[in-house]
Structure 1
Amino acid sequence: MSKKIKLAILGGGGDSLIGILHRVASAMFDQFELVGGVFNPDLEESKKFAREIGIETNRVYKDLESFIASERAMNEDERVQVVSILTPNFLHFPMAKQLLENNFHVICEKPLTTTFEEAKILQETQKKSNSIFAVTYTYTGYPMVRQMREMIADGVLGRIQKIDVQYYQGWINPIIHDEEKRANTWRLDPEKSGISCCVGDIGTHAFDMIEYVSGLEIKKILADLNYLYKDNRMDIDGTILLRFDEFVKGVIRTSQIATGEENNFTVSIYGEKAGLKWEQENPNYLYLLEEGEPMRVLKPGHVYNSKLSLDGTKLPPGHPEGIFDSMGNIYKGVARAIRNEPYHPGEFPTMRDGVRGMNFIEKAVESHQKGNIWIEIED
């Protein structure tokens, strides 16, 4: 077996859900070995966490600068090759930039940065480094999302004519209605989260998913966002109209105040011949809708699925796969890229996806602030 790729993680310590998700995903295909990182701003807490998850503490560092200096001093076959950034949003840009400048591969949580300008700088930095860069729009790793992408590319739907994506959560309700809580959570602090909460957190998933599965690019958007309270500086709900071209239009409906909703992410793509619908809370079902025909349900693991879908399927038909598997498929694609092995362009979201996501976030806020007007998304 090939030698495992040495991985370090920034952030994700303690009981962080995203930390658990990335650690499990990285271990899933035996391609990566987690050897250290900076799990917590406090070095002793970071070392304590490393011991809890069974990692030697000699490669747990007090900060990113110490990590880079120590790892760069090692022999090439011993040093960390790829770093996952799981920190709050405002740290993504400075950390990713330093890592790229020192020729590390990077796996970064979304949103890519806190501003579109930072995202463009990061893109130029990557071009100079030739490092692999992945942005973890996690849901692109689901087998039936990948099947959806391939069916659309193969023309099963015909010409696309309507796209409708909903992403509803209710988690911020206990925070937003309490003046003290909403003033003291990093999610609603522009200095730490950027200019958007809801669009920046889950709306960007919807934006990326649309372009991933449809093969189309969103050209213009018109956003109507909701802040709910005058003292709240960041959106927590919004409806965004989309234009792909003169005759192809769509909508993103996104909310974190949809009371009682958990993680209701639904993607519907309608063409002249058929439609496809996928729901994140039931990810193993892809619904095919055709005029005059009964609805068909496609499931993972069957021979009728595409090569890309089957490559992301780890269990026989009838055995549910979930979000850990989805993230694991992204890590598997990154491993292939790092090893310079052939891989499908749909295996992991790239720097370009992250940059377009930041463009979308800023343009959505701009559209709202200017009175709900159409704004172009830069190419």
Structure 2
Amino acid sequence: MNKKIRLGILGGGGDSLIGVLHRVASTMYDKYQIVGGVFNPNWEDNIGFANQIGLPTNRIYKDFESLVNEELKLPDTERIQVISILTPNFLHFPMAKKLLENGFHVICEKPMTTTYEEAKILSIALKKAKTIFAITYTYTGYPMIRQMREMILNGELGKIQKVDAQYYQGWINPIIHDKEKRSTTWRLNPEKSGISCCIGDIGTHAFDMLEYVSGHKIESVLADLNYLYSDNKMDIDGTVLLRCNNKVKGVICTSQIATGEENSFIIKVYGDKAGLKWEQENPNYLYLMEEGKPLQVLKPGHAYNSELSLDGTKLPPGHPEGIFDSMGNIYKGVAKAINKEPYNHGEFPTIIDGVRGMSFIEKVVESHQKGNIWVNI
């Protein structure tokens, strides 16, 4: 029997949404075992959380430096193999760089870094390390998103004409309108988040997803961002016009002040033969639209779906799967790569996606600051 991949985690303690998401996802296909980490910079909270989730505490470290130093003392057969970085944005780069330089595989939350220059440095470090690097654009793991990708790749939509992504949330409303709250949350602090809040947090999901499903590269952007208050340095809403290769055009609309919205992420791609539409809040439904024909609804688990889609489906048709399953599929793909097993390149986003995502963030902000002009990525 193959041994499980030894997984370490940085951040994600307490009531962190992404923490439980990553932990559950890593267990789904029985590929990983969490053996250690640093869940919180406060030692009492760190060790207390490890006890809470039932982890042995002998490899719960006081800080990141201790984790790396102590793990490197262990033999290869015991050392942590891959580490998930779930910390605030500003820690992604220094942590990922040191991990790569010391031979660890890395799974990193998005945005990958806080600057495009940092992203390029990580790309060089990965080439030297020759390890696996995945970035968790989580929604690419949904079976029907993978089906969408394969249908477009196979030409079922014909020549692509337009791409469209909308990602609306309302969670920042209670924060942005309170001067004290908006000045103390890390999401709105450039030193911890980078130069963008909304575009960096959810706009990159939309950017990556459109490139993932359509197979087209976004080449230039024209952006109009909203900061709402003069003392707020971070965008919390924005619209971005897109120009892609092959003369394809599109739009990304993002907001974290869309009052009442929860996590409304909608992807639409239109070709000259048909269109496809997918909604994250109803992820089991992929809508196929063709001129002169009734609307078709494709669902996961059926034999008509692609091999990539079926590989990411664990349950029979009619049994809902969701965000945990989507992240689990990414972890599954990373496990295949670490174990040197054959895998589809659509199974997990790589450092290339992370670098392009950082370029997108910076060019969107540049476009807005220069008076809403077209800027090349």
Whether TM exceeds 0.5 here: the answer is yes
Moved over 3 A (4+): none
CA distance in 1, matches of 2:312, 2:80: 26
Local SS of the residue matching 1:219? strand
Is it true that 1:101 corresponds to 2:101 in the alignment? yes
- Mapping of residues 263-282 of structure 1, within 5 Å: 263-282=263-282
In structure 1, distance between residues paired with 2:195 and 2:133 = 24
User: Structure 2, unaligned stretches of length 5 or more?
Assistant: none
Determine what percentage of the aligned residue pairs are the same residue.
75
Q: Hey, what's the Cα distance between the residues in 1 that align with 2:44 and 2:10?
A: 15
Matched AA of 2:124: E
- Per-residue deviation, residues 59-103 of structure 1 (Å, max 9, x unmatched): 000111111111111111001000000000000000000000000
- What residue in structure 1 maps to residue 126 of structure 2? 126
Deviations 1:271-329 (CA, angstroms, capped at 9, x unpaired): 00000000000000000000000000000000000000000000000000000000000
In 2: Cα distance, 1:213 partner to 1:190 partner: 31
Cα offsets for 1:230-284 (capped at 9, x unmatched): 1100000000000013631000000000000000000000000000000000000
1:102-159 deviation digits (Å, cap 9, x = unpaired) = 0000000000000000000010000000010000000000000000000000000001
Partner of 1:171: 171
Query: Structure 1 regions of 5+ residues with no counterpart?
Result: none
* Cross-structure match for 1:299: 299
Query: Is 1:365 matched with 2:377?
Result: no
Give the corresponding residue for 1:37: 37
TM-score (structure 1 length as normaliser): 0.99
Report the 3-state secondary structure (helix = DSSP H, G, I; strand = E; otherwise coil) of the residue aligned with 2:123: helix
C-alpha contact 2:300 2:309 (8 A) present in aligned 1: yes
CA distance in 2, matches of 1:344, 1:331: 13
- Once residues 159 and 274 of structure 2 are traced to their aligned partners in structure 1, the CA distance between those partners, rounded to angstroms, is 9
Report what 1:375 is aligned to. 375
1:187-202 pair list within 5 angstroms: 187-202=187-202
Measured against aligned partners, the alpha-carbon deviations of 1:27-53 in whole angstroms (never above 9, x if no partner) come to 111000001100010222211111110
The TM-score normalised by the length of structure 2 is 0.99
The residue that corresponds to 1:8 in the other structure is: 8
Q: Counterpart of 1:259 in structure 2: which amino acid?
A: T
Q: d(CA) in 2 for partners of 1:45 and 1:187?
A: 22
Residue equivalent to 1:326: 326
Letter in 1 for 2:111: P
Q: Distance in 1 between matches of 2:177 and 2:230?
A: 12
Provide the residue aligned with 2:314 in structure 1.
314
Contact 2:11 2:87 in 1 (8 A): yes
Q: How many residues align?
A: 377
Distance 1:304 1:169 in 2: 33
Contact 2:8 2:36 in 1 (8 A): yes
CA deviations on 1:180-227 (whole Å, 9 max, x unpaired) are 111111000000000000000000000000000001000000000000
The residue number in structure 2 matching 1:210 is 210
Report the Cα distance in structure 2 between the residues aligned to 1:254 and 1:240, rounded to whole angstroms. Answer: 8
Counterpart residue identity of residue 330, structure 2: I
| 3-state secondary structure, aligned to 2:241 | strand
The 5 Å alignment of 1:343-362 reads 343-362=343-362
Indicate the residue corresponding to 1:243 in structure 2.
243
